[in-house]
Each structure stands twice: as C-alpha cells, then as structure tokens.
Amino acid sequence: MEASRDRIFPIEDALEMIIMFDGAGKVAYANAAARQKLEYEDDLRGIHISNIFPNTFQETEELTDEKCMTDSGLKNLVAYRKNHTCFPVEARITHGDDAGKNMYICMANDILKKEYLSREVERVREEAQQALKVKSEFVANVTHELRTPVNGILGNIREMLDREWDEQSQKQLHLIERCCDDMNKIINNILDFSKLEAGKFTLEPRKFHFRNMLDYVKGNHINKITEKGLEFFMTVSPRVPEYVIGDELRIVQILNNLLSNAQKFTALGKITVEVLRTAQMDGRTELFFIISDTGIGIDKSDRDKLFQSFSQVDASISRKYGGTGLGLNICKQLVELMGGRIEVESKKNKGSTFSFSIWVETCGEDTDSHPMQDSRKSLYRLDSMEDGGKRAEDVKSFGTQDNKEALKRNLSKLILCVEMENWEKAEMFMETVRQLTEEAPHEVKRVVLRLKMAIQKENYDKVTAEFEQLNHYL
C-alpha cells in the first residue's frame, strides 16, 4: 500500500489519530485527526515517531515488534504536539506491511477529557465519603453528648420518685421518666446506626448462658404482651448449647426490637419465639431464631423497604405506633455482622414472621449429646402463625362467643385504664376493641369511633358516656 492520503481516504477522516511509520521510525502517513491534534498544519510525513512519543521511542534505534509493543493491546502513552506540549492518549500499535516494506500503524485517542473526568469523579467520591464520615462522626458525637443530660434527668427523677408525692405529681414524674426512657432508646438507635454506617461498629463476644439470656428477653416483654391479652410462647431446641460465645448484648437488642414490634403491631392472638440449632462448623454453630405474631401484617409491596433505614410502612402507622424506622435496619446490620441474615414472611391482617440466623462459638464444655442439627424445614413453618391467625380470626368474628368474651375483657381493661387516667394504655385496648368490632353493625362501629375519639382527647365524661352506649349495644 502506498501511504498516500487519497488511497487511504476512509481513515483520513477517522476520529481516532492514525499514524503510520516504518521500521526506522519515519512517519509515512498521519490522518487529519493526528495532524490537527498534534498541531502540524502541514504534514507529519518524514518526521521521526520519537518526536510524537519521546517517552516511548528513541531516534537512534531500529524499531521491532517488541519495542512497538504490538502484542500488548491498548496502552497509555503521552503524545507531544509540535510545540512540545503534551497530552495523554490511549494507543494501539499494530504491525503491517506496505508493498513489502515494514510498517507500523499507531491508532490513538486523546484521553485528556476522560482522565480529567475520572479524576473529577474520584475527587467527588472522596469528598462524598469524607462528608459521610464527618456526618457520621457528628451524629455519633451529638447523640453521645445528648445521652449525658438525658441520663442526668433520669437519675434525678428516679431519686425523686423514691420520695412521697401527691398522686398528680407522682404521675407527672412517671411521665418524665418514660419520656427520658423513650429518648434514650432513640439516642441509642441513632448512635448504633451512625456507628454501623461509618463501619466503626465492633462486636464484643463473650461467653454467656444462652437460656438465661432468653429468660431476660422474655422478662422484658411478658408483662406488656400479657397485659394486651396476647399469648406468648418461647421454645428452644434441646440441641441449642447451654453456653455460647457471642455478643450477648447485641443478640438481646435484636430480639428486643423484633419482640417490641411484634407486641406493638399485634392486638389479638399470640406471639411466639423459637430457637433452633441449624448448622455446625469448626467449633461454630448457626442458631436460627423465629419470631412470629398474629398482628396487622405487612403488604408484599412494603416488605422490600422494611430493612432500609428510616423506613416505616406508612405514615399512618408511624403516627399511630411511633418509632423511628431504624430498628430493623440496625437488626439487619447486626445480624450480618454476626454472619447471618434476616428474613420476613407476612400476610396482611394475619401476622408476620421474622427469622434470623447468627453464628456463635460453642464452648469446650458444650457436651452436645445430639450431634444432628435441627431441621429448619421441619420446624420453620408458618403453621403457628396460621393457627394463631385462625384463632384470631374467630375472635374477630363479631357476635361469636370468643368475640363477646374478648370484647368484655378488653372493655373492662379499657375503662379501668380510663379511670386511672392511663390514656396511653387505654388507647392500646381501644385498638383491640376496634379490631374486635370491625365486622359489627354500623351503629356499633359509630359508637366505637366516638369512644376512640373521646379517648384520644382524654375526655373522661365523654368516654364514660360512649362506653355506656357501647355496653348497651353489646
């Protein structure tokens, strides 16, 4: 091929720079892009390739395939313009021949913009990471600082509660105490969340008595659960070791969160906890926890966003039940730190089952007389939820014996709370009454609604009037 512009016309207008040079390094042809980019107004023909790529070639040497790196594909080179300024290129050099003459073809792209942009992307990424770090540190510091005054108030209130007060003052002090407890819970959640986000969270494993830990968790919730008239069952497989090494505090935190939710979102039926041993490897054991309730359930479409931070299923739920929407996200991150995963199965208005696995170390003295693992399949069923769901359904059917008894029980608890001016608890029983009368005739539902509004307004007289009215209908 004769290296004339006319004959190689298609490459003359290519966007890529194309330069042909012979074995002695003499340029035989350069297309328009090369002439323009390298700022040779006339032709490049005749100049030595080392003028364009001085870092790669020398004028004195004979060029070989090896020297031209014909086998190494795309490489980053620096191309020099006629005025000795330079820019980066991505180039490929291949070997050809032109009428028996040794010829090399260099195809190069100017990557100045690309390099600039990737440096810019890197800079922005670093800035964003730095900002995230600063934000997480700020949140961690502020929440840590907030803890001190809240605990100060709490300590003083508890001391004051030890003294004699009239009924009204006692009530107010208890209210302040509960507000401080709630605030502490929120602060702790934000603190954990920001530490987890910043990757600064470390687990603190130590040996502990597994069933004692479960008893402690049960103790935290049993009163609230039974007060609501719910049943509670906890079963632990005999294969679960007596002692394990793990972060007890964090396991308690996950269970507390899931049980608080179960209790919060269940008005009728039961809550169950099951613990199984599902795998064993190198002195480590996988424990599997299943927490089921027969509560309001979660729509399929909402389930995906459940474990995201600050996510609550809908605004009306957060207004009614409170919460920050951080709990499940923290649970997920903690479970993953412990080598496991968390899942949810749920049916709207039937209930939810949250399950999670974690890996713990077993202690030397754990004499497991049952080397087999619990079969997840045989034990992990939604039956319990279905059973509870069915029974909850019976109780919900307005007019049935179960429904009548549940209504009577919950209404008497409700009026007791109203008499003691415990409006928050009264609202809780009100929700159960509302669910128990969902299938009732309109006139009953209207009174229930009025009763509910009176409770929300904390209007004692109106509540007792509506209560009488409701009793009359029932």
- Is 313 one of the binding residues for ligand ADP (CB under 6 A)? yes
DSSP string, 355-408: EEEEEEEEPTT---S--SPPPHHHH--SHHHHHHHHHHHHHHSTTSHHHHHHHH
CA atoms of 438 and 444, how far apart (whole Å): 9
- Is 410 one of the binding residues for ligand ADP (CB under 6 A)? no
CA atoms of 271 and 293, how far apart (whole Å): 4
The distance of closest approach from Cβ of residue 352 to ligand ADP in the complex, given in angstroms and rounded to an integer, is: 4
Positive or negative: CA dihedral 184, 324, 316, 440: negative
The distance of closest approach from Cβ of residue 263 to ligand ADP in the complex, given in angstroms and rounded to an integer, is: 9
| CB-CB neighbours of 322 under 10 Å | 11
- Both tokens of 126, joined, read 């670093």
Instruction: For the chain, state the CA radius of gyration.
Output: 37
- Is 232 one of the binding residues for ligand ADP (CB under 6 A)? no
- Is 328 one of the binding residues for ligand ADP (CB under 6 A)? yes
Nearest to 373 by CA among 241, 209, 234: 241
The distance of closest approach from Cβ of residue 285 to ligand ADP in the complex, given in angstroms and rounded to an integer, is: 27
- Is 323 one of the binding residues for ligand ADP (CB under 6 A)? yes
Site string for ligand ADP, 334-363 (x = CB under 6 A): ------------------x-----------
DSSP string, 163-208: S---HHHHHHHHHHHHHHHHHHHHHHHHHHHHHHHTT------EEE
Q: Nearer Cβ to ligand ADP, position 306 or 440? A: 306
The distance of closest approach from Cβ of residue 330 to ligand ADP in the complex, given in angstroms and rounded to an integer, is: 8
Q: Nearer Cβ to ligand ADP, position 190 or 433? A: 190
Number of residues that bind ligand ADP (CB under 6 A): 20
The distance of closest approach from Cβ of residue 182 to ligand ADP in the complex, given in angstroms and rounded to an integer, is: 11
The distance of closest approach from Cβ of residue 328 to ligand ADP in the complex, given in angstroms and rounded to an integer, is: 3
- Contact at 8 Å (CB) between 19 and 11? no
- Is 263 one of the binding residues for ligand ADP (CB under 6 A)? no
- Is 187 one of the binding residues for ligand ADP (CB under 6 A)? no
Q: Nearer Cβ to ligand ADP, position 241 or 388? A: 388
* Residues lying near ligand ADP in the complex (CB under 6 A): 257, 261-262, 265, 293, 295-296, 298, 306, 312-313, 317-318, 323-328, 352
